[in-house]
Amino acid sequence: MKKLYLYTMIVSLAFTSCSDFLEQDNRSNVPSDEFYNTANGFSSLTNSTYSSMRELYNVQPQMFVAGTDLYADGKSQGVVMGQYTFTTDDSNIKDFYVSCYKGIQLANSVIAYGETTEDSQQRLQYIDEARYIRAWYYFQLVQQFGGVALNTKIFDYAEMSHARSSLKDVYKFIIDEFTYLASEQSHLLERSASGVGRANKRAAAFYAAKSYLTRGWLDETDYEAQEENIAESNDFENAITYSMQAINGEVPTLSIEEAFDINNEDNSELFWSVQFSSSSVEDPVKDGSYQQAQFGAYQGGSEKPRNKAIDGNFAPSLRLQQLYTRGDGRLEQTFMLEFHEAYFDYYTNPTSKILYYYAPAWATDEDIAAWRADDPNGIKTETIVSKTIAEGGIAPSNGQPATYKDRRSQDFGNACIKKFDDYTETSIANRSTQCSMHDVVLARLGEAYLIAAEAYYKNNQPDKAAEMINDLRKRPDTVKEGFENDMLVNANDITIDFILDERARELAGEYVRWTDLKRTHKLVEYVTQYNEDGVSEAAMTGPDGKYKILRPIPQAAIDLNQATIEQNPGY
């Protein structure tokens, strides 16, 4: 029975390999027990577990960014508001939930076969890699849904009863796994040996820190579930310990632009990424990452073949762009402020004419004049200067006053986030598909500093939190020359609002904002105060009077379950 069930599961999920060096070898004519009990088969099963993560990242990232303060509807209307009209049958919710449990079952399969497969040098390493991926999936689930069913074994029969575990038990499981995996006793590789595509001890320390930090905030009763006393007294201290273990004494040595460069995807900034490559996905046109296509305005039609395809769903908000103050070089590192005759000319033809310049929020007429004057190649003479970041009104496509929302819906109406750009010729040629082969970064040094800062703040050590922020800002090209003192912070500057602002500046476009606001109990406040699509407190409140802090459990998961499953508050 196990042979048939696992064989059917692997073939039906049709997982492909995880990267160039993570090759899955599906042999449909070999029984699963026979194949996965060989070293090659066991390696293939492990690699399919990595591949499963692509399901969460080769689609629009609604679960991670929509319905927050930093991203707004572009030409595609109703996406943001839709976050708070989710039903229990919504496909976004169901697909996310199912994908996580598919990945968990694959990880459980690796762990189970690890006890019976032929011994090899990597056997124990692969078991621990599967434990890491399983814990990572559960961390995704618990942040979105609260307490969920804890399944830690493969099923060789149709198990129909899966009771929800308590929020406390799920967090304990996640934290126990990540702390073990970050320890000397685990068989994970060190980051220096693993590469960015495999689970490693620094990535485990990163998620141990983030899990402790997230649980530590759950000290207020009934914030996201009908449970109390979830947090433990030393959660923030432990978050500090493990974030410092992840940091490992390093300061960022790369700029944001360099850290996310498509041609340097295994660098010192990164701990762990979801891998995409044209040689290892089943269909390079459809199965890539869509991250580069998410954050910007439309850029014209097929007459602009070298423009980046944009789906228009998550235009960067005015608030996000205005968070960068004078002296913070991350604005230019993150956004395409100079738009050439075609989008990718920025990389491939930098001396071509600049059509639009998106002036920063702090730019004066004198600043803009100085920018125009710095033009040795004569490429700025006809540039349309947009002050939409500064004033929220003038869209470059027509030069007429408009509301900020109108600007977002117009071609070339706002600056795009460029940090995830895949400017390879293959990606440019496939622009109509919107996908690229850029890896999706999940754990990196910059966020480890921000986790440490937040944990220090919650541990009543604002001076240490300020130290973390100042060290992070030593990243190359972050502080412009002459603004070193302006960019220094001290203990009096540190509040949770400041930390969230810094997370926005450093992590713009990375898939963390919804969970950031939920973790820090700022979701309702920030969305109702800052979201540009008019999300009201009433829209975030369910018929039971509870806030929609969690996602609804998919109705199918309730209906097919023989255990009694209580729906989340708000639905």
Determine how many CB atoms are found less than 10 A away from the CB of residue 219. Answer: 16
Judged by average pLDDT, the poorest of 116-120, 136-140, 459-463, 562-566 is: 562-566
Q: How would you class 19 by CB atoms within 10 Å of its CB: exposed for 0-12, middle for 13-18, buried for 19 or more?
A: buried
Confidence check: pLDDT of 261 > 70: yes
Cα 565 to chain centroid distance, Å, stands at 29
| Rounded CA separation 187/130 (Å) | 11
Which of residues 315 and 10 earns the better pLDDT score?
315
Residue type, 226: Q
Position 199 scores a pLDDT of 98
Token readout for 257 is 């632009």
Domain ranges of the chain: 1-51+90-165+541-571, 167-275+439-508, 291-423
Q: Is the CA virtual torsion 221, 223, 226, 230 positive or negative? A: negative
Judged by average pLDDT, the poorest of 171-185, 226-240, 254-268 is: 226-240
Token readout for 332 is 């230019």
| Helix residue spans in 73-196 (DSSP H) | 79-82, 91-113, 123-145, 167-181, 191-194
pLDDT tens across 289-332, in order? 989 988 988 777 666 777 888 876 788 988 899 999 999 999 99
pLDDT band at 451 (very low <50, low <70, confident <90, very high): very high
Position 163 scores a pLDDT of 87
Asked if 511 and 274 touch (Cβ cutoff 8 Å), the reply is no
| Rounded CA separation 195/142 (Å) | 28
Judged by average pLDDT, the poorest of 59-63, 94-98, 121-125, 218-222 is: 218-222
Asked if 43 and 22 touch (Cβ cutoff 8 Å), the reply is no
Alpha-carbon distances, residue 34 vs 28, 37, 104, 118 (angstroms): 12, 5, 22, 10
Residue 293 DSSP code: G
pLDDT band at 220 (very low <50, low <70, confident <90, very high): low
Asked if 491 and 463 touch (Cβ cutoff 8 Å), the reply is yes
pLDDT tens across 166-194, in order? 999 999 999 999 999 999 999 999 999 99
pLDDT tens across 426-445, in order? 888 777 677 889 999 999 99
Position 301 scores a pLDDT of 66
pLDDT tens across 77-136, in order? 666 666 787 788 888 899 999 999 999 999 999 999 999 999 999 999 999 999 999 999
Element (H, E) at 524: helix 523-530
CATH number for the segment(s) 167-275+439-508: 1.25.40.390
| Rounded CA separation 521/221 (Å) | 12
Q: How would you class 122 by CB atoms within 10 Å of its CB: exposed for 0-12, middle for 13-18, buried for 19 or more?
A: middle
Asked if 242 and 208 touch (Cβ cutoff 8 Å), the reply is yes
Confidence check: pLDDT of 31 > 80: no
Per CATH, 1-51+90-165+541-571 and 167-275+439-508 having the same topology is answered yes
Confidence check: pLDDT of 348 > 60: yes
pLDDT tens across 407-418, in order? 677 788 888 999
Count Cα neighbours of 548 within 13 Å in the Cβ-side half-sphere. Answer: 26
pLDDT band at 17 (very low <50, low <70, confident <90, very high): very low
Confidence check: pLDDT of 196 > 60: yes
Determine how many CB atoms are found less than 10 A away from the CB of residue 563. Answer: 11
pLDDT band at 15 (very low <50, low <70, confident <90, very high): very low
Judged by average pLDDT, the poorest of 98-107, 199-208, 301-310, 382-391 is: 301-310
Asked if 96 and 63 touch (Cβ cutoff 8 Å), the reply is yes
pLDDT band at 398 (very low <50, low <70, confident <90, very high): low
Q: What is the pTM of this model?
A: 0.92
| Rounded CA separation 266/272 (Å) | 9
Q: With b meaning 16 or more CB within 10 Å and e meaning fewer, what string describes 389-402?
A: bbebbbbbbeeeeb
- Round the average pLDDT of the chain to a whole number and report it: 87
pLDDT tens across 494-522, in order? 999 999 999 999 999 999 999 999 999 99
Among 317, 319, 323, smallest CA distance to 296 is for 317
Position 7 scores a pLDDT of 31
CATH number for the segment(s) 1-51+90-165+541-571: 1.25.40.890
